[in-house]
Structure 1
Amino acid sequence: MNPIEVLELEIEAIINASSENIIVTDGSGVILRAVKNSEEMYGIPSADLVGKSVKELEKQKIFNPSVTLEVLEKKEPVRFMQQTGTGKVIMTQGIPLFDQDRKIIRVISFSHDMTEIEELKMQYEVLQHKMKRYEAEMQQLRNQQTLKDGVVIKSKHMQNVWDMVKRVANSDAAVVLEGESGTGKNVAARALHHGGSRRTGPLIEVNCGAIPPTLFESEMFGYEPGAFTGASTKGKPGLIELADKGTLFLDEVGELPMAIQVKLLKVLQEKKVTRMGGSKSRTVDFRVVAATNRDLESMVKQRMFRDDLYYRLNVVPITLPPLRERKEDILHFIAYFLEKFNVKYGTRKSFHVSAVDELIAYSWPGNVRELENLIERMVVTVDETLIKGKDLPAMQKTQKAKQRTDETVAMSTLQESLETVEKSWLIRAFRDCRSTYEMAEYLGMSQPTVVRRLKKYRINSKTI
């Protein structure tokens, strides 16, 4: 083997061993050599590239644009990003080789696949854009005071609710606030009070589910001195009395004992209250606002809630939507609670876009209260200033697991229902038909299938 052949083999080995995609052309742009892996990058085998003009290949969008043509035109090294016919983005560099007369005799191009890096760059840019949008919206939220007393009124659904709250605030009409736990019914009750003519009077909040039944009457209606063992010698006004000239807010009104419902109805009708152990009635002037996460109408039908009290309270029903039905409000709640707890704990925490995306995607069964508690937890427990998606509890995993469980239960229920129907038809056919062949024709299935089904459900002359 002569030295030229050895040199040829060395050059070929160097080109093919390189991690770069190397193409060598002559002075007119005709390909002389191409690395063996060119098909992966350009969609054409190396053997088919050799002998082709880069000008023609550029027209065919195999190279777009051709670095070799740029080198031949400028007579100097050229480097730029290039897109291939296979959709790959590559960084390509062309270097001219000159003869003694400064005439280009070869162009060597080196190309490196940048597709994955470019995709990562694009993802990063999208992430950055999303983060800037979130930050801009949060800042706009702070500037425009979209939140009032912890209530977001950004979504159309919530705007309609809040318009109703403002509309009835100035009236004395009884209001029932309905909605799941954590939707902000107590906040709406306060807005009804502070937005009305009774704002200078007291707002008395009564959690009907927190007072023991044995103490309910004395707490609600008050008592006279010596009304019962252990009673104060001075007596005590009840919560209804304390609401005079103001608002009585009955939270969790569905928990009211039936005996108290009767007495409360009388107070609402007459606007007079009589303390336990007394005979003198006192006139009280108050507005009643009730809240519940239960279906009062169903409770009325089940005789668990008095219908006359229900109709007395339910003059203006207002339903607060769950957080999962007002996704556009979540970002604003995040901004509100984040600032609240940063101030409370003297921190400067913020949420990474990955965390914000997860918070928006979550269904929030505990509604606003759950979101508030989670944000406080993150501010207190996460060491880093930037709270990322990985720092959040496995909410979505739990949610997906529950969805899978629900789907399994649904499928199981469906299967059981289908089997019940199938068994019913088989029993009917067994009674009406004289043979399994006749049953098969009757049921529209094959005779072997009928036999298998009869065996499966143990249907025979002894069981029917």
Structure 2
Amino acid sequence: MSEHYESLMMEMEAILDASNDNIVIADSDGIILKASKNCKEIYGYDSNSIIGKSAYELEKQQVFSPSVTLAVIKKKKKVQLMQRNKDGGLIMATGIPIFNKKGILYRIVSFSHDLTELKRLKEDYEHLQQQLKQYEVEIQQLKEKEIIRNGMVIKSKNMQHVWELTERVAASDANVVLLGESGVGKTVFARALHQNSERKACPFIEVNCGAIPSSLFESEMFGYESGAFTGANHRGRKGLIEQADKGTLFLDEVGELPLDIQTKLLKVLQEKQITRLGGGKTKKIDFRLVVATNQDLKAKVKNGTFREDLFYRLYVIPITIPPLRERKEDIYSLLKMFLDRFNEQYYVQKSFNPKAIDYLSGYDWPGNVRELENFVERLVVTSPTDIIHVNEDFSYGIHTSETPVQHKNSIYLNQDLTLKEALAEVEKHFLLKAAKENKTTYDIAKELEMSQATVVRRLHKYQINSKMN
């Protein structure tokens, strides 16, 4: 019997020594009978210093705080709780009751595991996760900065190729002609060419060739001396070309240049000097020329409305900016850019419903970026809620690839509308349009081929002001 007992004791000691957890065995009164040698590592007290002592005493001394042994004695069942050691470390303790054959509590065996390191690792992990999220935000911000350059969205491959070419030629003084449909952003590219050149500290002079009356074109472009014509400033005036000295001259809608001005501009480009209207002195001029057009200049050369020699002088580096329908990957970023801009401008916090983004991204935008910008501003100003939807906000003025019929008065109708609701939307659209274009309800009635009384009732129904114009 003695040998068997000694064998059991040896096995118990081996278990106590080998366990990573601290094992404490107590009797039913809470007196500590056995304890693992790693007790000091976990609790800070040597196992020999606690053997023979009461769990009540050890709890008061905050060796076990709280004591899982005492909790088991009280509840007579398995207990798991969290403890703190003298250094503030976190410990998970599990106490298991052992009953004799009569069901009386005989021993309490407790297992304790130091969670301090695990807690530290968890906190480190959470800290790393927060850092990763911050890095993701910063990376996304950097990506957006790279996408938006000089106020342009450069995301699609088409635009990336155009931008790379723009960057390459910006440093040179070669003449550049920007080609593309109305609204694609030719002016923005012209400014980018200037801002990325060595001339960026000098003037950028923009001239809309289609906006200056032909009678004033020469004096505006070349300037004039005192007394050059009736009403002229007595001090004379610098022309737009002269104002661009050392900087960049941007001629937008260059296809609208009158033929006589084309001849004089060609001479300026060849001789790099200018003579003011009414003057005899020439002045050396140094500027970089960038022009833009949405017209076919080659066709204008053929029909005699654009000088061939000027065409070849301008056509040194042509850069074609693609329309928005050929770079739809840019639409989302443009939407976000314009939305942020107008939210700030109008002190609102509006956002697009996902379905609205889908519809806007699917639209061909015949007016290109300018049309998109104007439409976003309209939505920000007129949307009745902070979330812009595809129902009342899109009731007119836009159609998408999902809209089967497209014409100049196109109407977008929510596909979830009933026939009655859809007809009402169409009626409201035509009433709004007619109210804007006519002064009286009689004129509206005549245009819509309705009675004046019906027009008055319908305007009242849809709360439309008949004096909108």
Rg larger in structure: 2
Letter in 2 for 1:392: F
The one-character-per-residue Cα deviations of 1:366-403 (angstroms, maximum 9, x if unpaired) are 00000000000000111211101112244227963237
CA spacing shift, 1:262–1:159, aligned 2, 3 Å: same
Q: Residues of 2 paired with 1:379 and 1:343: CA distance?
A: 11
Aligned to 1:452: none
Q: Residues of 2 paired with 1:157 and 1:141: CA distance?
A: 22
Aligned to 1:180: 181
Q: Residues of 2 paired with 1:351 and 1:141: CA distance?
A: 20
Matched, 1:396 2:399: yes
**Unmatched 5+ stretches in structure 1:** 1-135, 406-464
Alignment of 1:148-163 (within 5 A): 148-163=149-164
SS at match of 2:207: strand
Q: Residues of 2 paired with 1:328 and 1:321: CA distance?
A: 12
SS at match of 2:384: coil
Letter in 1 for 2:399: Q
Q: Residues of 2 paired with 1:251 and 1:355: CA distance?
A: 34
Deviation at 1:143, TM superposition (A): 6.0
Conserved? CA contact 2:399–2:406, under 8 Å: no
Conserved? CA contact 2:177–2:290, under 8 Å: yes
Conserved? CA contact 2:179–2:320, under 8 Å: yes
Q: Residues of 1 paired with 2:264 and 2:148: CA distance?
A: 39
SS at match of 2:370: helix
Aligned to 2:31: none
The one-character-per-residue Cα deviations of 1:422-453 (angstroms, maximum 9, x if unpaired) are xxxxxxxxxxxxxxxxxxxxxxxxxxxxxxxx
Letter in 1 for 2:406: K
Q: Residues of 2 paired with 1:358 and 1:364: CA distance?
A: 11
CA spacing shift, 1:381–1:233, aligned 2, 3 Å: same
The one-character-per-residue Cα deviations of 1:166-202 (angstroms, maximum 9, x if unpaired) are 0000000000000000000000000000100111110
SS at match of 2:248: strand
Q: Residues of 1 paired with 2:395 and 2:177: CA distance?
A: 35
The one-character-per-residue Cα deviations of 1:126-146 (angstroms, maximum 9, x if unpaired) are xxxxxxxxxx99x93686312
CA spacing shift, 1:396–1:142, aligned 2, 3 Å: farther
SS at match of 1:171: coil
Q: Residues of 1 paired with 2:395 and 2:165: CA distance?
A: 36
SS at match of 1:249: strand
Letter in 1 for 2:378: R
Aligned to 1:300: 301
Q: Residues of 2 paired with 1:252 and 1:299: CA distance?
A: 13
SS at match of 2:319: strand
Deviation at 1:362, TM superposition (A): 0.6
Letter in 2 for 1:401: V
Q: Residues of 2 paired with 1:335 and 1:359: CA distance?
A: 12
Aligned to 2:277: 276
Alignment of 1:58-69 (within 5 A): none
Aligned to 2:324: 323
Letter in 2 for 1:402: Q
What TM-score does the superposition give when structure 1 sets the normalisation length?
0.56
Letter in 2 for 1:200: A
CA spacing shift, 1:393–1:220, aligned 2, 3 Å: farther
Matched positions, count: 271
Aligned to 1:140: 140
Q: Residues of 2 paired with 1:252 and 1:210: CA distance?
A: 9
Aligned to 1:379: 380
Percent identity (aligned): 58
Q: Residues of 2 paired with 1:381 and 1:404: CA distance?
A: 22
Letter in 2 for 1:320: I
Q: Residues of 1 paired with 2:286 and 2:186: CA distance?
A: 23
Letter in 1 for 2:394: L
Conserved? CA contact 2:363–2:400, under 8 Å: no
Alignment of 1:4-15 (within 5 A): none
Q: Residues of 1 paired with 2:408 and 2:226: CA distance?
A: 61
Conserved? CA contact 1:249–1:288, under 8 Å: yes
Aligned to 1:193: 194
Deviation at 1:149, TM superposition (A): 2.7
What TM-score does the superposition give when structure 2 sets the normalisation length?
0.56
Aligned to 1:360: 361
**Unmatched 5+ stretches in structure 2:** 1-135, 410-469
Conserved? CA contact 1:141–1:332, under 8 Å: no
The one-character-per-residue Cα deviations of 1:282-337 (angstroms, maximum 9, x if unpaired) are 10000000000101111111111001001001100000000000010000000100
Q: Residues of 1 paired with 2:188 and 2:395: CA distance?
A: 27
CA spacing shift, 1:403–1:277, aligned 2, 3 Å: closer
User: Over aligned residues, Cα RMSD in angstroms?
Assistant: 2.3
Deviation at 1:148, TM superposition (A): 1.9
Letter in 2 for 1:154: K
SS at match of 2:406: helix
Q: Residues of 2 paired with 1:142 and 1:338: CA distance?
A: 19
SS at match of 1:311: helix
Q: Residues of 2 paired with 1:187 and 1:371: CA distance?
A: 15
Letter in 2 for 1:295: D
Conserved? CA contact 2:364–2:400, under 8 Å: no
SS at match of 1:401: coil
SS at match of 1:282: strand
Conserved? CA contact 1:223–1:277, under 8 Å: yes
Q: Residues of 1 paired with 2:161 and 2:223: CA distance?
A: 39
Which is bigger in relative contact order (C-alpha 8 A, separation at least 6)? 1
Q: Residues of 1 paired with 2:237 and 2:173: CA distance?
A: 27
Aligned to 2:352: 351
Q: Which runs of 4+ in 1 moved over 6 A?
A: none
SS at match of 1:291: strand
Matched, 1:266 2:277: no
